[in-house]
Structure 1
Amino acid sequence: MELFLEHSFSQLALILLKNAVGTHTQDIHVNSYKIISPQIYATICALKESYPYSWTLDQMAEIANLNKYQFAHFFKEIIGISPYSWLQLYRIIRSQEMLIKTDKTTLQIAMDCGFSSITVYNQLFKRLYGITPGVFRERMNK
């Protein structure tokens, strides 16, 4: 049952993201985690502040004062997805404003947001929203 609920939560998050493309804020509010888990809150704040950085699980875990295995499990238990998945989602969210408000190329935006390649960026964006960043830009700038 727990596996089903975890999978359902992840699916719900993806559905919400797909339906909210271009309509949500350029941030993920995390203040509620300050009380729930100060360790996770501190880590998420660091990730948000330096989202383009190439974070490792060890670096994230160090902020939470946990070993990387404890941290990965605890993060997923509290947030519902892995730390790296959260970071990738945050990068996608931050990229949307750049697509709409700048003339930067998709490659420049992908690199500025911390993606390892434009291919990874395009694939993740399309998997989340069903359209490429270029199509998103065209639709939002009409």
Structure 2
Amino acid sequence: MIEMIRYDNTPTVVVVLVPLRGGLLMVRRALPGEGFGKLALPGGYQMLGQSWQEAGAREMMEETGVIISPEALRVVTVETTPDRRQNLLFCQSPPVEHQGAFVHDAEVSEIRVIHEPTETAFPRHTRVVREFFMNSGDL
């Protein structure tokens, strides 16, 4: 009998910066646990069989209803969390047009466009948001 080796790989979380209406698109987290009720950048796990670009576009659609082009996403920075349990891939889309209301899933309680740096649910998000505004909306 052949023994199966089980690998415990580090998952990738794709976090997306979307310039919109002269600001930056943010979500208020509705998931219980860390960051509940606080603002964060949209994002989530890259699923098996998806490129990181496809994961970013999917998460953006699920959490905000905003459609972005996966091909237009570019990497801003990649970091590993201090506990080494996740790789965070921060990426940015070109500015998008989105008229009308936002639509979100159960992971989000509110969608906002911010026009200046703000404290977020996660220190890394806060730093990337601050850098976005310091660089006039382009990282």
Q: TM-score, normalised by structure 1?
A: 0.24
| Larger relative contact order, structure 1 or 2 (CA cutoff 8 Å, min sep 6) | 2
